[in-house]
Amino acid sequence: MRRLEILVAITACLCAATDICRAEDAVRLVPHRAVYDLRPAAMAGGDVVGAGGTMTYVVSEECSAWSTEQRLTVRTVSRTGQAVEMVSDYTTLESRDGRSMKFRTTQTNNDETVLRVDGEAELKPDGAGEVHYDQPSKKTVPLPAGTLFPMMHTKALLEAAQKGETGFDAMLFDGTSPDGAQHVYANLSGWKLKDAGASFPELGKIPFSRVRLSFFSSDPAEMLPEFENSMKYYAGGESDDLEMNFGEFRLHGVLTEFRLLPPAKQCPE
């Protein structure tokens, strides 16, 4: 379930879709709904012999905040024929200035709840702040300077890719873990203005980068990442062509449904 927890973190992490997108406007997060079919990509020869699932991700724009909802379902079959269904429901409400966030994560294993995480977090201008947890227990955890919430992290790494940078290093707090922020390094591979191989026409008009995210333990003695994930990241925060590594198996995420959602209306100036 730790790998599922980290995966939720990754996928929680997301220029409007127009024919022409100016460079200075290229990175502008947009509300959208995406559904992925998770198909087996590779098995490591362990106990798991079959795997698959689905993921639905929705990001909505409100006047003062971004609202996200994600449901991730992963089904596995062991060598003995045991079937397991892991489900994660994840929601956030992140302020547009990236300074505050409310979050809730519930994870189940064959309908049995194995983790609940909820609370709220606040950041100062330097990125330092605190997380106030209500679940799994009431506690306060400090956040180091430079911490980013998911939407701001997505925007910042895409801006780095647009500038031609090959990496982006940051502390991310997304509300999926009861242990505070996590060190995440993004390998960035180029910045292309159009995608001839896009799954949907709307995405073919948007700049994108290939991104690999590596999540590291808070233990400085651990040199290797706990988890890695790769994707095609578009300049509106949309993602496609996912690869999710669960250790014993890898899943390929294929975008099967996609649509842009309306922006916030009648917001006060």
Bridge partners (DSSP) of residue 148 are 172
2 has pLDDT over 60: no
In the chain, domain spans: 2-260
Q: Count other C-beta atoms under 10 Å from residue 54's C-beta.
A: 15
The model's pLDDT over 136-187, given as tens digits with 9 standing for 90+, comes to 999 999 999 999 999 999 999 999 999 999 999 999 999 999 999 999 999 9
Cα separation, 84 vs 82, in Å, equals 7
Global model pTM greater than 0.85: yes
Q: Work out the angle at residue 85's Cα, subtended by the Cα atoms of residues 80 and 87, and round it to the nearest 5 degrees.
A: 155
Residue 266's pLDDT band (boundaries 50, 70, 90)?
A: low
DSSP string of 25-82? GS-----EEEEEEEEEEEE-SSSEEEEEEEEEEEEEE-SSEEEEEEEEEEEEEETT--
CB contact at 8 A, 268 and 259: no
pLDDT digits (tens, 9 = 90+) for 85-104: 999 999 999 999 999 999 99
Max Cα-Cα span within the chain: 61
The stretch 60-66 carries a mean pLDDT of 92
Report which of 141, 156, 144 is spatially closest to residue 103, judged by C-alpha positions. Answer: 141
The answer to whether the beta carbons of residues 109 and 102 sit under 8 Å apart is no
What was the pLDDT predicted at 3?
A: 47
Contact 190, 49 (CB under 8 A): no
